[in-house]
Amino acid sequence: MGEKDKRTWPEEVGVKEQRKLRARKEDRGVWFGLGMFGLVDWSVAIPTLIGIALGVWLDRTWESSASWTLTGVFVGVFVGCLNAWYWITRESRRE
**Which residues span the domain enclosing 52?**
29-94
Q: Is residue 70 part of a domain?
A: yes
Q: What is the distance between the terminal CA atoms of the chain, rounded to a whole angstrom?
A: 21
Q: Greater confidence, 17 or 69?
A: 69
CA distance 53 to 71: 11
The average pLDDT across 25-36 equals: 69
Q: Is residue 9 part of a domain?
A: no
CA-nearest of 12, 4, 22, 8 to 94 is: 22
Q: Is residue 71 part of a domain?
A: yes
Whole-number pLDDT of residue 87: 83
Q: Is residue 21 part of a domain?
A: no
Q: Is residue 22 part of a domain?
A: no
Domains in the chain, number: 1
CA-nearest of 33, 19, 39 to 93 is: 19
Whole-number Cα distances in Å, 72 to 1, 66, 68, 84, 85: 38, 11, 6, 18, 20
| CA dihedral of 60, 63, 69, 75, whole degrees rounded to 10 | -120
Percent of all residues in the chain with a pLDDT value above 90, rounded to a whole number:
38
CA distance 47 to 83: 9
| Confidence band, pLDDT 50/70/90 cuts, at residue 11 | confident
Q: Is residue 20 part of a domain?
A: no
| pTM of the predicted structure, to 2 decimals | 0.62
